[in-house]
Amino acid sequence: MTDKTYQPTLAGLRAFVAVAENHHFSTAASSLGVSQSTLSQALAALESGLAVHLVERSTRQVFLTPEGRRLLPHAQAVVEAVGVFSAAAAGSVDPLRGTLRLGLIPTVAPYVLPAMLTGLAQRLPELMLRVVEDQTDRLLTTLREGGLDAALIALPSDSPGLTEIPIYDEDFVLALPPGHRLAGKRRVEPTLLGQLPLLLLDEGHCLRDQTLEVCRGAGVRAEVADTRAASLATAVQCVAGGLGVTLIPASAVEVESARSRLALAQFATPRPGRRIGLVFRSSSGRDEHYRRLAAVLADAIGDDPAVRRVA
């Protein structure tokens, strides 16, 4: 009879599964990285503890007994579950080897994701990324509450308890309707924004606040157009249709110019712009891992000539 107090060891179950799947003791031992005698002892201990004969041995072949065939799926399930558990534990120790929930603001995500995802796949192949696109305030709230692991936003976040890692800087470019008198200019003074119908994104978008800050820095009051947009893509379409002008980050120029009849102008130096970086909870204890992630993102995104790497 089976000893009801007996608990099979993982070594015994692995030995049984390896022998059953390879039909050969030597090959099974090699697959587990152990000696054949160690494998045989583990399997024998399992059979003894269960009081069940699992394997028939002959000089040339290995067969499963009827009991062995019945119990094999259960042993395989245990071994597989342990593997899943180990992988999950590895992801807990190193967040770059498991699932990572990354937030991105809407004026960053569409323009850096292609390069970012390619770089992550090459450099961190065990990372399973979950992307959440949202406005800055909602991302920061979700991050502080534990619903996100990190976020890619415009710095500074002005949020206590978060660590910031700068990744890249980029200039703002003035987007204009086709044929506008400033089209193609390379030294536009920000003071001219006070004379132009400025099309802004909806409340909550950090680019809206940054645009108004450029106006304040230039000492001018923004002449805000009646039209407002929920996304940068919509704002650009409105500009192309003659409804106003707007500021777009340099990383968005290539994408937005390709799908709109858009005129552009550069600001005079020092050009207004923004800094994008990675933020995460300081209490997470994962400073080293997220600095590594930021370096990978900087390598991937930094190849874009429109941005200047700072990480």
Average pLDDT of the segment spanning 218-242? 89
pLDDT band per the 50, 70, 90 thresholds, residue 145: confident
Which tops the pLDDT comparison, 307 or 90? Answer: 307
- Residue 310, CB-side half-sphere exposure with 13 Å CA sphere: 14
Q: Is residue 67 part of a domain?
A: yes
Domain check: are 41 and 161 in the same one? no
Domain check: are 22 and 66 in the same one? yes
Query: Cβ(167)–Cβ(276) under 8 Å?
Result: yes
Q: Is residue 3 part of a domain?
A: no
Query: Cβ(295)–Cβ(309) under 8 Å?
Result: no
| pTM attached to this predicted model | 0.71
Query: Cβ(72)–Cβ(63) under 8 Å?
Result: no
pLDDT, residue 203, reads 86
Domain check: are 71 and 134 in the same one? no
Q: Is residue 1 part of a domain?
A: no
CATH of the domain at 203: 3.40.190.290
Domain check: are 130 and 65 in the same one? no
Mean pLDDT, the chain, as a whole number? 90
pLDDT, residue 182, reads 95
Domain check: are 287 and 229 in the same one? yes
**What is the end-to-end Cα distance of the chain in Å, rounded?**
66
Number of helical (H) and strand (E) elements in the chain, helices listed first: 10, 12
Which residues have C-beta within 8 Å of that of residue 270, sequence separation ≥ 6?
none
Domain check: are 68 and 121 in the same one? no
Structural domain boundaries enclosing 65 = 10-90
Integer Cα distance of 91 and 149 in angstroms: 13
Q: Is 62 helix (H, G, I), strand (E, B) or coil?
A: strand
| Residue 294 pLDDT greater than 70, yes or no | yes
Domain check: are 15 and 111 in the same one? no
Structural domain count of the chain: 2
Q: Write out pLDDT tens, residues 74-110.
A: 998 888 888 777 766 665 567 788 889 999 999 999 9
Domain check: are 285 and 167 in the same one? yes
